[in-house]
Structure 1
Amino acid sequence: MNYSIKATATSKNNASIRIKDTAINFGTTKDSAETLANPAELFLSSFSACILKNVERFSDLMHFEYNTTEITVSAIRLEKPPRMDHINYELKVYSQDQTLNINLLKKNIEKFGTIYNTVSQCCTIVGDVKKISE
């Protein structure tokens, strides 16, 4: 499988990524540091999207239903060399389904997530997956 995106930036201004029909604006200047996502936040967003996509994928394969899922991700960045060193996530799956095996879901996310597996090669990932009965 191959992937392709296009990103552009204007001098002394901000930038945008085009992916299919999606445009994602992000900050490249000090003026946008508090209002637009930065590259590190986009990186963590991609990690989050991978996990959320896999919840949907495995809801079909594992035959469970859920209403909503949300993820919170935090990371520690090293300065020299600048890189992500540790990622922590908490995934909440809101579901009434008694067949939801939360441990198996976590195992599948960690085994089959493309972004998850790529990131795990370069930094520590610690995660907690919780079922929230509504």
Structure 2
Amino acid sequence: MTETKTKMTFQVRSIRQDAHGSEAQCKDARIQLDTDLAGRRDAFNPAELLLAALSACMIKGIERVVPILKFSLRGVEVRIDGVRQDVPPRMESIHYEIIVDTDEPDRRLDLLHENVRKYGTVFNTVAPGTELSGVLRRGSVQE
């Protein structure tokens, strides 16, 4: 007898406010979106949202495995750079740096990075369609 597993589902609703911006909503959260053709500095544009989603996926993946691996850390920072290609418009490449403030040995850092790459939903969605590369290293996290 096979057990049927319920799949996770996600819902986001975005509403155009005017020619300068929109708002995305999910659960009890709201985020301003830069949908202005001229751009705006006080909101994430779609490409930046993709990179933010990727960084959140990495941090959430770390949070998920820290208790399983009994991994000790003081903080995590993710830095991401994306390069957009014009024709056709797409993210051509994404490079990330995950900085973990920890005293764990290097082999445990490698294991943590392997888990981030292997089990991240957004990571595994983005990876096949872009050149996705990066490192996980030890360092102090800046606030």
Q: By the TM > 0.5 criterion, same fold? A: yes
TM-aligned CA distance change 1:65 to 1:38, over 3 Å: same
Provide the secondary structure at the position in 1 that maps to 2:53.
Answer: helix
Aligned-residue offset at 1:34: 2.4
Indicate whether 1:5 and 2:12 are aligned: yes
Instruction: Give me the CA root mean square deviation.
Output: 1.9
Indicate whether 1:129 and 2:136 are aligned: yes
Asked if 1 retains the 8 angstrom alpha-carbon contact of 2:17 and 2:23, the reply is: no
TM-aligned CA distance change 1:101 to 1:13, over 3 Å: same
Please name the residue that 2:112 is paired with: 105
Please name the residue that 1:18 is paired with: 25
Asked if 2 retains the 8 angstrom alpha-carbon contact of 1:55 and 1:105, the reply is: yes
1:87 and 1:79 map into 2 onto residues whose CA distance is 15
Provide the identity percentage. Answer: 29
Q: Which amino acid aligns with 2:92?
A: D
Q: Deviations 1:14-33 (Å, cap 9, x if unpaired)?
A: 11111111111011114652
Q: Which amino acid aligns with 1:57?
A: R
Q: Which amino acid aligns with 1:68?
A: G
Aligned-residue offset at 1:11: 3.2
Between 30-39 and 53-62, report the one with greater CA deviation.
30-39
Q: Deviations 1:59-89 (Å, cap 9, x if unpaired)?
A: 1111112111000000111000000011000
Please name the residue that 2:41 is paired with: 34
Structure 2: segments with no counterpart, 5+ residues: 1-7
Asked if 2 retains the 8 angstrom alpha-carbon contact of 1:77 and 1:85, the reply is: yes
Q: Normalization by structure 1: what TM-score?
A: 0.91
Q: Which amino acid aligns with 2:16?
A: A
Indicate whether 1:88 and 2:66 are aligned: no
TM-aligned CA distance change 1:133 to 1:72, over 3 Å: closer
Provide the secondary structure at the position in 1 that maps to 2:136.
Answer: strand
Q: Which amino acid aligns with 1:56?
A: E
Please name the residue that 1:75 is paired with: 82
TM-aligned CA distance change 1:133 to 1:78, over 3 Å: closer
